Structure 1
């Protein structure tokens, strides 16, 4: 049992993802969902971005997306599902995003979450007509 101080979320967008993707991306860890957004063009084809929540945060509104407020605990890591969710900006079916990889690391302890099916496999489409959630498992 330890207080979670930092969550790192590495997201790789496939090189064949559409340009100009808009929408919101969220990660759920230890029973709480966090918004991932920064000053970069995160969802452009071929981007590889690591978001930091908590200690050393590099996202917009870090105080609202902090695992220390309220304090999350490593005891909760296996009690709740871990996932990544894409929320398109509208109901248009062509507003999709192609995710190549997502890896989540929790500090302290170094717990790591991944979807091994994405490793070396074709990327997955996320959107209104293709599903919006990728579940992650502890590896």
Structure 2
């Protein structure tokens, strides 16, 4: 049992035609959902970015996207599913996600990592298109150790 003070979410938008989006991306973890948005032009084709929540935050609205408000605990990591949720928006709403890695309390003695093993690699069948017509949630699996 430990307080969650920082969460890093690494996302890689695939470098394939029309992969980018202006839609909204959310991270669900430890019983809470967070908006992954920064002042950058997020989720463009071929772009990688690590979103930081909590200590050293780089997301918009950091006070409202903070795992310390209310304080989340690592005990809750196994009580609730971890996922990426996408809400399409704009003229070309679909998004092609190639990689996601979420780390809770990075740099600590016991960081907790979440990933989706189906997205390891760069083949066509190792990325996922998210959209209103295809599905909007990708669940993540815990990988500690």
State TM-score, norm by structure 2. Answer: 0.90
Offset, 1:41: 1.4
Structure 2 match to 1:119: 120
Structure 1 stretches of at least 4 aligned residues deviating more than 2 Å after TM superposition: none
Q: Report how many residues are paired.
A: 137
TM-score by length of 1: 0.93
**Who is 1:133 aligned against?**
137
In structure 1, the gaps of 5 or more residues are: none
* C-alpha contact (below 8 Å) 1:35/1:65 kept by paired residues: yes
In 2, the alpha carbon distance for the partners of 1:19 and 1:130 equals: 14
- Any gaps of 5 or more consecutive residues in structure 2? none
Give the SS at the match of 1:76. helix
In the alignment, is the contact (CA less than 8 A) between 1:17 and 1:98 conserved in 2? no
CA distance in 2 between partners of 1:13 and 1:102 (Å): 9
Match of 1:3 in 2: 3
Is contact 2:113-2:142 (8 Å) kept? yes
Mean alpha-carbon deviation: is it higher for 72-81 or for 14-23?
Answer: 14-23
**Separation in 2 of the partners of 1:87 and 1:62?**
20
Equivalent position SS for 2:75: helix
RMSD across aligned positions (CA): 1.4
Contact 2:13 2:19 in 1 (8 A): no
1:50-89 to structure 2, matched below 5 A, reads: 50-89=50-89
Alpha-carbon distance in structure 1 between the residues aligned to 2:112 and 2:17: 29
CA contact (8 A) 2:31 2:81 kept: yes
